[in-house]
Structure 1
Amino acid sequence: MFDTAVESTHVWLGLAVVSAGILGLALRVPTAPPPDATGLARTVDSVAASPHEATARHPLDARQVRIGAHRVGLRGPGGDAHASLAYGPVVPAVGGDGDRLRRVLRGVPPERAFGSEATFARALDRSRTTEPSWRPAPERLLVRRVTWGDTNATLVGA
């Protein structure tokens, strides 16, 4: 009595619209998993928690990286992934003092890269408080815990 005829044009049009919507959803599903930000955070935390100077390398499988004082993020073909750091704040080796901080990150003692401990501490504070931004991801990130007098820091960068 209230049946719709299968030959009805409206039924076929509705079926076509629903099928196109389902196909669109299926094509939007990422084909790869998001990068492993949790693994990166564990590497950073293991160095930051060390009572002594320490260094680690973490390979990245991402297109972009975002390093903040308390959080890291990775962006890849499978989407974005973020993880919080348990032992922060860390210092991204980027920004205005990034060249000198990158030298320290790569093994140069801070007293050779900076004129004084106070200058080193100011550079750490500036880099730590800079708003994090997405940057091209290197093949691996370096993490280094350094100490100069009363100034301790965990540097993260490439």
Structure 2
Amino acid sequence: MLDVPLDSLYAWFGLSLASVALVGAVAGLPTTPPPNAADAATTVDRVAAAEYDATAEHPLDASAVRIESRRISLRNDAGTAHATFGFGPVTPVPASDSPLRAVLHGTPPEDAFDSPRAFQQAVVDARAESDDAAWREVDRTLVVRRTSWEGVDVVLVDA
């Protein structure tokens, strides 16, 4: 009467192993959601669709970013997300000390460049460089600015 049936011991052992496996699987899940590239792309599209000069910022929930002329990619510990711009191409600002960076942060193009032709060439070079865009670490917001100078209309993007 005090004996335990032999198969209940096996069932108890099996449930214990399943519980340990379940706890291990749950502990391996990411603690943060993947980044939201669609919201970042929507911010870029809103500025790009503006009729006049405009600027916007979008907080990023990513640790790395890759900005190309037609899409943005965000990455964090939970995964990678990509989104395509509806209004493009945009001009990713080079990581180097470029006059485009000054324009992105509010300097008028006529103060940063000698001529509209030099401005246009900098835009063309930045777009060509973005075709081989690499992942860059990011810990701030996405900055977008639409500006124009004597027929050169551009949407600058950087994070």
Tell me, yes or no, whether TM beats 0.5. Answer: yes
SS in 2 for 1:35: coil
The one-letter amino acid paired with 2:93 is: A
Distance 2:111 2:36 in 1: 35
The one-letter amino acid paired with 1:117 is: P
Equivalent residue number for residue 151 of structure 1: 152
1:8-157 mapped onto 2 (5 Å cutoff): 26-95=26-95, 98-130=97-129, 131-157=132-158
Structure 1 unaligned segments of length 5 or more: list them: 1-5, 7-11
The one-letter amino acid paired with 1:115 is: D
CA deviation profile, 1:71-116 (whole Å, cap 9, x unmatched): 00111121111111000101011155x5211100011011111111
SS in 2 for 1:153: strand
Distance 2:50 2:36 in 1: 22
Identity of aligned residues (%): 43
Distance 2:126 2:120 in 1: 10
Structure 2 unaligned segments of length 5 or more: list them: 1-6, 8-12
Q: Are the aligned partners of 1:93 and 1:157 in contact in 2 as well (CA < 8 Å)? A: yes
- State the 1:62 CA deviation: 1.1
- State the 1:60 CA deviation: 1.1
Equivalent residue number for residue 9 of structure 1: none
Deviation beyond 3 Å, 4+ runs, structure 1: 18-29
Equivalent residue number for residue 3 of structure 1: none
- State the 1:33 CA deviation: 1.0
TM-score (norm 1): 0.81
The one-letter amino acid paired with 2:139 is: P
The one-letter amino acid paired with 2:59 is: P
Superposed CA RMSD in Å reads: 2.4
The one-letter amino acid paired with 1:128 is: R
Q: Are the aligned partners of 1:95 and 1:127 in contact in 2 as well (CA < 8 Å)? A: no
The one-letter amino acid paired with 2:124 is: D
- State the 1:28 CA deviation: 4.3
Distance 2:93 2:108 in 1: 14
The one-letter amino acid paired with 1:45 is: D
SS in 1 for 2:69: coil
SS in 1 for 2:103: helix
Distance 1:24 1:71 in 2: 36
